[in-house]
């Protein structure tokens, strides 16, 4: 079934799971080479990156750690309502090589916010690995060290990404059908 209806929108298959797996394997090979010998901790950003993090991590051969973070709205904020606090940093990232695992980088605002907060914990360096990247929407100068696929400015769904809570369980990546 190549089309799915989720809530009010129609989606069609965009990137099949076999291609996603191939892209992730290639990324894992690069990470394994680049970060050999370093003290590495992967930080998956919930919810969207859980599937990517899981598939990538099983192909990582480094001696390393993984943990997951979530962005939560600051309680009681009014003026800066879209600034979100990073929660769940249990592992000590001090002087470690941190690899942020993101499902998608769109404007880059979320990533910028995450990096600013992580810097406060004084890691040795921060690398970014994202499965998807929308270059036409990107507004930041932050380096994206590992990019799986560059995609146009379409809304995508599946492989961990949702549309209003649904669709994260789809193995393939879908994109919205504009009508």
Q: Among candidates 69, 51, 74, 77, which has minimal Cα distance to 158?
A: 51
Q: Is 162 a catalytic residue?
A: no
Select from 15, 129, 157, 170 the one that contacts ligand 5GP (CB under 6 A). 157
Residue 50 lies near ligand 5GP (rule: CB under 6 A): no
Residue 69 lies near ligand 5GP (rule: CB under 6 A): no
Show the site string, 91-130: x = touches ligand 5GP by CB under 6 A, - = not.
------------xxxxxxxxx-------------------
CB of 37 to ligand 5GP, least distance (A): 31
Tokens of 60: 């990582």
CB of 3 to ligand 5GP, least distance (A): 17
C-alpha distances in Å from residue 161, one per residue of 81, 122, 128, 168, 171: 23, 30, 18, 5, 10
* Cα 144 from Cα 128, distance rounded (Å): 5
For the chain, the distance separating the N- and C-terminal CA atoms, rounded to the nearest angstrom, is 19
96 burial via Cβ count (<10 Å: 0-12, 13-18, 19+):
buried
CB of 79 to ligand 5GP, least distance (A): 19
Q: What is the length of the chain?
A: 179
Rank residues 108 and 148 by Cβ distance to ligand 5GP and give the closer one: 108
Residues 97, 40: contact at Cβ < 8 Å? yes
Give the binding-site size for ligand 5GP (rule: CB under 6 A). Answer: 16
Q: Among candidates 125, 123, 121, which has minimal Cα distance to 95?
A: 123
Among the listed residues 103, 106, 145, 172, the single catalytic one is: 106
Residue 48 lies near ligand 5GP (rule: CB under 6 A): yes
Query: Mind telling me the catalytic residues?
Result: 106
Residues in touch with ligand 5GP (CB under 6 A): 48, 103-111, 155-157, 161-163
């Amino acid at each position: 079934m190549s089309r799915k209806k989720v809530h009010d929108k129609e989606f069609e298959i965009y990137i099949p799971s076999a291609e996603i797996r191939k892209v992730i394997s290639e990324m894992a090979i690069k990470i394994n080479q680049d970060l050999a010998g370093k003290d590495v901790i992967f930080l998956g950003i919930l919810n969207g990156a859980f599937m990517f993090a899981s598939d990538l991590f099983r192909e990582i051969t480094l001696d390393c750690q993984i943990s997951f973070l979530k962005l939560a709205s600051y309680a009681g904020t009014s003026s800066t309502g879209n600034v979100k606090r990073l929660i769940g940093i249990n592992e000590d990232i001090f002087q470690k090589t941190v690899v942020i695992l993101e499902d998608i980088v769109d404007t880059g605002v979320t990533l910028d916010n995450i990096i600013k907060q992580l810097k406060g914990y004084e890691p040795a360096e921060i690398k970014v690995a994202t499965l998807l990247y929308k270059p036409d929407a990107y507004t930041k100068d932050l380096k994206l060290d590992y990019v799986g696929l560059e995609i146009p400015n379409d809304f995508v769904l599946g492989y961990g990404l949702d549309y209003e809570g649904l669709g994260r369980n789809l193995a393939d990546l879908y994109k919205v059908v504009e009508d």
